Structure 1
Amino acid sequence: MVRPLLNSQVSRFSEVAAAHQRAKSEQAIGKVVLQQES
């Protein structure tokens, strides 16, 4: 079974710029998860 590799850190949509920068700088391994704020 193949499962996606998820980053252990979940970011809020308001932190999307920081999450994008983390992914771009290769500090995040796998998928970057954004959580919708309610």
Structure 2
Amino acid sequence: MQVFGIEPQYLKKIRVVMKDNFKGQASTHLGEIDLIGY
């Protein structure tokens, strides 16, 4: 399934980058993304 023309694989890469960049804040950002279904 594609959302807004963005492939899930790309979104998964974003999640990994967020973990690396935000570290302590990652859980909050990833939590918001999970609510949308990403």
Name the TM tier (shorter chain).
Answer: 0.3 to 0.5
TM-score using structure 2 length: 0.32
Identify, as 1 or 2, the structure richer in strand.
1
Greater relative CO, 1 or 2 (CA 8 Å, sep 6+): 1
Identify, as 1 or 2, the structure richer in helix.
2
